Every structure is written in C-alpha cells, then in structure tokens.
Structure 1
Amino acid sequence: MLLEIAVTSPSGVAIAANEGADRVELTTALELGGLTPSQGLMEAGMEAAGGSVEVHPLIRCRPGDFLYSADELSLMEREIRALLGQGASGVVVGALTTDGEVDREALLRLSTAAREVRDDAELTLHRAIDQVQDAERALDTVIDLGFTRVLSSGQHATVAAGLQQLGKMRRHGQDRIQIMAGGGLSLEDIPAVRAAGLDAVHLSAKKVISTAQGDSVSLGAADGADPTAYLVTDAAVVRAARQAIDS
C-alpha cells in the first residue's frame, strides 16, 4: 500500500520524500479544500522532490462546488498543461454535473489536456466522487476515460465511517483502477484500510504554526481566526504513517 501526502510548500515536498512518502499531492489553501499550485510552487516543489517522490498537483481553480463553467474548464486545461510541462507525474482533477454525476465531458476535456502534454500522465479523480449519487457508475465512467485512481472517503465524512463503501468500490473497480483512501483519515485507520485491500492512503499530515502575540489585528478573516496561523507538513505524522503502512 502506497502513501500520498498533501503538501503546500517545497519544504512539505522534502519532508514527505525524506519520511518515506511515495507521492505528494501539491496544492495550496488546504483550509479551502485545496487549490491549484502556482507555476513557481511547482518548480520549487519539483526541485525539492529531487526525483525521489512523485509530484501530482491538484487542479482546482476555485473553492466551492465542482460545477464548472466553460471558462473555468479552459483555465484548468491551461493549468494542467503548464504544470505537467514542468515535470508533474500526473494531475488530480474532478468535476460534477448538477444531477450528482461525474461530468464526463468536463473530465474528458481535462484528461485530453493532460495526455496532450504526456501520454503517460496519471489521472486522479479527487473527492468529488464522494458527492455523486452512484459511486460505482462514477467509477465506470472514469475507468473508461483512462483514470489511474480515485481518492475517496467512501462517501462519508471520514475514511473510518466510509470503509465499507471503499471496500465495495475496490471490488467493483477490481484491477481496473486504484482506490486511495483519504478524508478524515487518522493513523489508527491505516491497518483497517490495508486489511480492506485498498491501494493507497492519503493524508495532509498537517500542523498549525502561529506567531500570534496577544491580540492580533484581523486582516479580513470573518470568523475571527488567528490571522498569523498557517499550515505546514508534520514530519512526525508522515513518519508514523509510513511505519503504520509497513508494520
């Protein structure tokens, strides 16, 4: 079973590589569910990876739902071409229709853009699959489009709650597509995920850094959150995840 870590910085890439991750999902704004990394971040991330860990950028042009306009899809096609051109092993994408299905036409556009840059680009469907009406039908669609894997919490808030559904998805997909467990995943869940025969686990392994001293002036956060706080990759969590997979 492989280990993927969601990271938001070159140092996060380096930590994941040094602590035994097989792959990183490179993103920004984890607090918003993740957004497309910049070309500068991609360049620095590839340098930090040093060829020892695969880099797969998330392609998501805005927060919110997965119902995309033609202009948004065009933007994400550009992002795919740019980031794959910088050396990414694959991309992480997702799009839905208003009736709760994966958007086949949108995913065809995005997958075509990827394969135009490199025909061996790996394609991951992100947790948009957790919002579809029929996960097995969604799997059939993305298998037909040539996707490599799906990231899912089994259509529940956490992997632990969705483990039975993840097992059903694994059996339905058989050897046609990889199933990667992620979303509310704890280290304690990893043995059960491995026992279920899933292909990989995905976690952000994040910790919060704050430099607040006394009362800090708000810089626009409507919820009164700490304006100095940000997320970094926790080496200890990555190391523990690797150990849990290997034990």
Structure 2
Amino acid sequence: MTERPALEIAVTSPAGARAARENGADRVELCTALELGGLTPSAALVEAVAGEGLPVQVLVRCRPGDFVHDAQEIELMAAEVRSVIASGASGVVIGALTADGALDTVAVARLVEAAHTPGRPVDVTLHRAVDQSADPVATAALLPRLGVTRVLTSGGAPAAADGLRVIAAMTAAVPKVQVMAGGGVRPADIPALMSAGVAAVHLSAKTRAPRRRGGSWVPLGAGGVSAEQDTHFVTDPDVVAEARRAVEGSPAGSSP
C-alpha cells in the first residue's frame, strides 16, 4: 500500500499554524511576506509557531527577487539557517542559482552545512528556485549528493497544475528526492498532483485579513496598492480542511 502525500501549509503566524493543525495539515512552512514569495521569519516567530505542535519547515530567503545571491547574502542566510533551527525549526527551505540558471551548488552546500551544524536531524528542502532554473529535472538530480532530500516545485510553470508533466518526470527521474508540488495549488488540483506521484502537496490556503485600521489611509511604500488591498494574508481554515479532504479522498500517489 502506498502512502498518501503529506499536506504542507504555508503560514505566517502562530494562528495560521493552529488553523493548519486543527484542520488536518501534516506540517507547516513558515515565512513572512507571502505577497513577496516569502522571506525569512524572526527567531521569535519560529519559536511561537513551533509551539503550536506541528513540524515547522522555515523558509530562509534574505530578500525578494531573484535567487542569484552574492557571498555576503549566502553567509547571512547560513546564519539565519542556524538561528531558525536553534529556535525550533524541524527543517529549512533554501536555494540559490547561478546567473545562467544552474543550481549554485557551492551556495547550497554552504546552507546545508549550516543546517547540520546544530547536530540534530533536520529536513532540507530546495525551494522554488528550481522553477526558475534552466532545467528543473536536472537541477533536482543534483540534490541527493548535496544533502537536500526534498524539493518544492510547480514543474517550472506559474502554477503546479500546469506543470504536471515536469513534476511527473521529476518524481520518476530522482526517486531519492521527495517531490512536493506547490505554487498556486488549489484543493481541486490535488488529485491530479497526487497522480503525478508527489510525496507532498503544498499550498498557502490564504485569504486577505479584514482591514482593522481607523483614521485615514496613506500608502507606505506599496506602490499601486489600494486601501482595500493594503492588508496581510491569513490562513483560511476552510481551505485547509478542503485540501485535507482532497488528499484523503484521492487514490494514493506512488511514494518517491
């Protein structure tokens, strides 16, 4: 009997982690600034989310934009890796590319080394830098020798539902890597993603928080954002529950 894929929910707060846990998630990925693709959270936030009881995979990304990082940025992220693990992370989500779209193996090896410095077992996931690489399948094939055991991918497409062919190729070509489908995933997409053989599905299950401001509103550096859009995202428990039902109700995908 094959195992069903794990359900991972991207969250930004303890409340989000609690909603994920109460509605059937297996683990969470923690970050800040979901609207920017996610950035490294603070040590205090990692501690608070770890206290909610689910395994916490922490995104380590020092800035928005591309994944081509200089030496100073890599050293900063190595320090962030050590910090979030010391604060209770069960794993880290990392990545870097070269300017020509190849995996930056030197940078990734440095971040993996930092993850193992505390001396306890942790998961290491390559984030969606893989989807901006020149060849996502070939990039994933490099991961086992670097100590990376999981990859989060949309198959190089804007949304995972549109990258099924590449996702399936990745699961077939790199059986030692856990392939996790993520990127624009909706609960309705989960059966097809499971059929591609993924080890996990990842979604943010997010909704905009209600505005709670009083007085007047002025933009604070968010160019082109209206007052109605200038809010933050929170985890929608109903979407998490729907995703759990989709995982439970679909035929189990093959384990990588």
Distance 1:163 1:152 in 2: 10
For residue 217 of structure 1, report the CA deviation from its aligned partner: 2.5
For residue 146 of structure 1, report the CA deviation from its aligned partner: 1.5
Specify the alignment match of 2:252 in structure 1.
none
Distance 1:239 1:210 in 2: 21
Distance 1:120 1:102 in 2: 24
Quick check: 2:44–2:87 contact (8 Å CA) kept in 1?
A: no
Specify the alignment match of 1:114 in structure 2.
115
Quick check: 1:4–1:201 contact (8 Å CA) kept in 2?
A: yes
For residue 34 of structure 1, report the CA deviation from its aligned partner: 0.1
Specify the alignment match of 2:41 in structure 1.
37
Q: How does 1:206-245 map to 2 (within 5 A)?
A: 206-211=206-211, 216-226=217-227, 228-245=230-247
Q: List alignment gaps of at least 5 residues for structure 1.
A: none
Specify the alignment match of 1:143 in structure 2.
144
2:60 corresponds to 1:56? no
Distance 2:117 2:225 in 1: 45
Higher relative contact order at CA 8 Å, sep ≥6: structure 1 or structure 2? Answer: 2
Bigger CA drift: 223-232 or 212-221?
A: 212-221
Q: What's the secondary structure of 2:221's corresponding residue?
A: coil
Specify the alignment match of 1:104 in structure 2.
105
For residue 189 of structure 1, report the CA deviation from its aligned partner: 0.7
For residue 224 of structure 1, report the CA deviation from its aligned partner: 3.0
2:6 corresponds to 1:2? yes
Q: What's the secondary structure of 2:60's corresponding residue?
A: coil
TM-score by length of 1: 0.94
Question: Aligned partner of 2:44: which letter?
Answer: G
Aligned residues: 243
Question: Aligned partner of 1:2: which letter?
Answer: A
Specify the alignment match of 2:191 in structure 1.
191
Specify the alignment match of 2:160 in structure 1.
159
Bigger CA drift: 69-78 or 205-214?
A: 205-214
Q: What's the secondary structure of 1:169's corresponding residue?
A: helix
Give runs of ≥4 in structure 1 deviating > 3 Å. 212-215
Q: What's the secondary structure of 1:189's corresponding residue?
A: helix
CA RMSD, Structure 1 to Structure 2 (Å): 1.5
Question: Aligned partner of 2:218: which letter?
Answer: V
TM-score by length of 2: 0.91
Q: What's the secondary structure of 1:117's corresponding residue?
A: coil
Distance 1:107 1:63 in 2: 18
Q: What's the secondary structure of 1:97's corresponding residue?
A: coil
